[in-house]
Structure 1
Amino acid sequence: MDAEQHKILGNRLFAEKRFEDAIKEYTSAIIKNASVCVYYTNRALCYSKLEKYDPVISDCRKAIDIDPTMVKAYYLLGQALTEKKQHTEALNKLKTGYELAIQKKVSYVNDILQALLVARKKKWDDDEAVRLEKESELLRYVKGLVEKERKELLEKVDPNDEEEIETINYNIDERLSKIQTVFVQSKDNAFRREIPDAYLDKISFNIMHDPVFTPDGITYERQSLLDHFKRNGYFDPISRNPCRETDLIPDRSLRDAIEDFLKDNGWAAGN
């Protein structure tokens, strides 16, 4: 049995969800011909289904070494890196995969875009968890200083002077309450956010990743517009004027503004 036959058998086993068996066939194909990147990405997809992300990463890197334009490899690699919390590289790989997918007009470009948005959201979630933990540590530290001050003040007071003791405790409790309020308000403000309307796609109403504008000056998410062309014909959805893919102009300034917004508001990637 040659390498291609092993791949074909692996594909059949994959379709039957027999991922471990499919991996064995793709491995046999690689042993017989290690220069075909599809064998690696097919095996990587099996590992991904089994949530074994380290071999996914290894296989995808090998596939990219063989063919630096292999969209599927960047897509699977970005997803695996996201699961391993290697967020910066995950975003870079998915962005590369998305750009190649647009160039090659692959059918699953929306899946790549969704993976990119998920990666952004998970990075922000992890960064936010670290920030909140640091904030909690700071709150505990500040409260500790105030309690230390309470103890020092009470040690200087006559134990029988109930009025002075009550005054000290009242003032310290008031200060602790104000400190707690400041931290709570800070946390509340962090979630009182809205996505600027200009950042939202006028078709899907999701935040845009790759904004483009039509000859009428109306901005859309590129892939949403391409999907519209396929479904409905070549015209601007709002102006109804003729418009084709070749007429679209990247809105780089808006894309940069959205990138900056998402760095501090990664929650918006899931909206």
Structure 2
Amino acid sequence: MAADGGVARQAELRRIEGNACFYKARFGAAIDCYTEAIALCPDVAVYWMNRGLCHFRRKDWAKVEEDSRKALALDDTLVKGHYMLGCALLRKEECALAIKELEKALDLLKSSNSRDKMAEDIWEVLAKAKYLDWEKHSTQRVWKIQNLKEACENALQEHHFLSGTLTEDSVGPTNEYSEQRKLLSEVFTNAILADTPGDVPDYLCCQITFEIFRDPVITPSGVTYERAILLEHLRKVGNFDPVTREPLKEHQLVPNLAIKEAVQAYLKEHSWAYRSN
């Protein structure tokens, strides 16, 4: 037991030395220290996390993924582990897997009731991942819809031809065929428009940033803002509502759950709206 304790203390000293190197941006030296700590105590998740963070700063994404996975295998509650793994997966354009990891990171922050600034960093990468995922699948959907439209038009034409309401010698289609073809065109046009980028409704956007809400809060004056942006205003500009100029303190802010639910519903149907973030 004494030997085990000595090894653990030695590993911890290497971690502390690594931290000192990290804060001086000496990432290579920090990696060496964390690697030694891992060799001594491979079952300590934070050693893998710290080394992964060095690789993160170096943008060595393959090693970020490797160390993050090792850390999470030991402790699945590491917010930074899921965040860094999500970033690494996004670099590989594995958007769906990246989204899963980033959402797990946000869920862990919410469950801990943390107001950590890291939530903003996670949301920014998550928004990018969701937009890229939409962009990738949107192109595929439009192509499939167009092919399906052509198949339906051909089937409709064949149906009228076989039923005798449309012949090869006809100068033009019958009224019934014309109306059905027009209706068919409208259906497919609406299907494409539903997945086409447009303007996000004003009531879903912050009046300061004009971007879609992430964490909306309402003031006693009845104005809704993005929490992080409003808190920054209170700290740097003054304790007053930016729009009404009424006195305002942080403890007076109340989450606007109705708007938050509306945003979530809108984003679920219009993933392209993540683009503005």
The alignment-based identity, stated in percent, is 27
State the 1:27 CA deviation. 3.0
Q: Does 1:74 align with 2:74?
A: no
Task: Describe how 1:46-195 pairs up with structure 2 within 5 A.
Answer: 46=55, 49-52=59-62, 54-55=65-66, 57-62=68-73, 64-65=75-76, 68=77, 70-82=78-90, 83-84=93-94, 85-86=96-97, 89-96=100-107, 99=110, 103=114, 105-106=116-117, 108-145=118-155, 165-167=168-170, 171=173, 183-184=188-189, 186-188=191-193, 190-191=195-196, 193-195=198-200
Name the structure 2 match of 1:42.
50
Q: Distance in 1 between matches of 2:43 and 2:227?
A: 34
Q: Distance in 2 between matches of 1:234 and 1:63?
A: 44
Find the partner of 1:219 among 211, 216, 224: 224
- The answer (yes or no) to whether the contact 1:98–1:109 under 8 Å persists in 2 is yes
Gaps of 5+ in 2: 1-9
State the 1:227 CA deviation. 1.7
Secondary structure of residue in 2 paired with 1:103? coil
Counterpart AA for 2:124: Q
Alpha-carbon displacement from aligned partner over 1:183-209 (angstroms, at most 9, x marks no partner):
456424542633111111122111011
State the 1:74 CA deviation. 3.4
Q: Distance in 2 between matches of 1:180 and 1:210?
A: 40
Name the structure 2 match of 1:229.
234
Name the structure 1 match of 2:265.
260
Name the structure 2 match of 1:157.
none
Q: Distance in 2 between matches of 1:198 and 1:251?
A: 12
Alpha-carbon displacement from aligned partner over 1:182-238 (angstroms, at most 9, x marks no partner):
645642454263311111112211101111112222211111112222222333222
Are the structure 2 counterparts of residues 129 and 56 from structure 1 closer, same or farther at C-alpha, using a change threshold of 3 Å?
Answer: farther
Q: Distance in 2 between matches of 1:176 and 1:16?
A: 70
Find the partner of 1:7 among 13, 18, 21: 18
Are the structure 2 counterparts of residues 26 and 132 from structure 1 closer, same or farther at C-alpha, using a change threshold of 3 Å?
Answer: farther
Q: How many residues align?
A: 255
Give me the TM-score of the superposition, normalised by structure 2: 0.71
State the 1:72 CA deviation. 2.3
- The answer (yes or no) to whether the contact 1:40–1:63 under 8 Å persists in 2 is no
Are the structure 2 counterparts of residues 57 and 133 from structure 1 closer, same or farther at C-alpha, using a change threshold of 3 Å?
Answer: farther
Q: CA RMSD in A?
A: 4.0
Gaps of 5+ in 1: 154-163
Counterpart AA for 1:195: V
Secondary structure of residue in 1 paired with 2:248? coil
Q: Distance in 2 between matches of 1:133 and 1:10?
A: 52
Q: Distance in 2 between matches of 1:149 and 1:223?
A: 59
